[in-house]
Amino acid sequence: MTLQYTYDSNGNPIGVFIPIKDWNHITEKYSDIEDVTEWERNLIDQRLDFIKKHPDQLIPIEDFIAELDKDDEI
């Protein structure tokens, strides 16, 4: 998966582009991904805030995808 990042004028990452082929794979695997409740949005916001404060704790997307694929093997 090749991701493209968007940065603000200070060089801070503010967005990511996921190729449509990869996005379709994720949304097919997790078909209810668009049915996000308010408490889930709040949790996501909290996690994004944590990531902004602790970017050193991020894992590469390749590792994340490998974990998803490993779950399929079980």
Residue numbers of the domain that contains 46? 4-73
Whether 72 has a pLDDT exceeding 80, the answer reads no
What's the rounded Cα separation, in Å, for the pair 35 and 14?
23
What's the rounded Cα separation, in Å, for the pair 16 and 7?
9
Q: What is the model's pTM?
A: 0.39
Q: How many domains does the chain have?
A: 1
What's the rounded Cα separation, in Å, for the pair 60 and 5?
13
Q: Which amino acid is at 53?
A: K
pLDDT at 74: 59
What's the rounded Cα separation, in Å, for the pair 41 and 43?
5
Gyration radius of the chain over CA positions? 14
pLDDT at 73: 66
